[in-house]
Amino acid sequence: MDTFGTTESIGEHGNAELLFVETWDGLYAPVGLRTPDGRGPFPLILLASGNGGEGVGWIRDALANRGWTMDRLVEAGYACAWIRYRTEVELGYNNGGALVRDMRQGREMFNRSPLEYEDEIAIIEHFNADPRFTGVGMIGMSHGGEMVMKICSEYHGAVVGVASEPASHEYLALNPDHTAPMNEETQMRNIEDMQMAEVEKVRARIDMDIAWARVAGIQTPILVMGRDTDHLQGIFRTTYDMLDEAGKDCEWVSWDHDLHGYVFPLRGVDGPYEVNAVQEQAVAGVIAYLDRYMK
């Protein structure tokens, strides 16, 4: 796979490398890479948040305004990169089936378009082949956390994964209740206010056969991070519980914080990052977890 890019000054942290990494179908995904001082090679952590789209503008904004966790990773000796990927497809993972890659007239032919988590696999493959890096880990938040689960179920090229507040409802084959109504105009589910705080409620509404089959494929160590008062905490905890019950290498931690995405502190309107002791402890814990597998 091919890549090209530029180096530009973004935000207060100085230079970042803006790369465009070729995905499986030849489209390019933007990546904002930072590396520590020195020659390396370095362990690399990919950062993913949300359900995709928005391209280069999103990467530039993340480097400028979600750079606090990157700073901590670089200080700890990690290269790190915000990634962007194609937009999530509603139930594309459930309904699309496995991606089959064939050849026709000397060119690749797919049975369906790649999905957003497969873009991240392509990015991991690219950086695994880059001699500047010793291995690739992942921190995914919300839908990015669900992507960690999807990736690790079928691909084993990442060293370690952190699934922070993983919105794993599709991965677990969850059948939502009335708190996730259908949008009459689009005929897609509106899950913004879905209430799934209790593990018992979540486990009663997932297709266990599908969920267990997906979890069975995981070989990568995963840290699952919850948020104590989140309305999806039952999904976060069930994600961990099923890993644990399947005998996977996994850990659980949950923090009490009012920000969805507390693992990636945001810059405040007056300039400095808005970070409290909970976020400092949470990110320090993530780095300590990564150190066990990446160093």
Whole-prediction pTM value? 0.95
Q: Would you kindly state where each structural domain of the chain is located, as residue ranges?
A: 3-294
User: According to CATH, what is the number of the domain 3-294?
Assistant: 3.40.50.1820
How many Cβ atoms from other residues are within 10 Å of residue 258's Cβ?
9
Q: Burial of 137 by CB count in 10 Å (0-12 exposed, 13-18 middle, 19+ buried)? A: buried
Q: What is the pLDDT along the chain (295 residues), one digit of tens a residue?
A: 666 655 555 545 557 899 999 999 999 999 999 999 988 899 999 999 999 999 999 999 999 999 999 999 999 999 999 999 999 999 999 999 999 999 999 999 999 999 999 999 999 999 999 999 999 999 999 999 999 999 999 999 999 999 999 999 999 999 998 888 888 888 888 888 899 999 999 999 999 999 999 999 999 999 999 999 999 999 999 999 999 999 999 999 999 999 999 999 999 988 899 999 999 999 999 999 999 999 9
What the block records as the tokens of 276 is 């409290």
Sort 222 into a burial class: Cβ within 10 Å, 0-12 / 13-18 / 19+.
buried
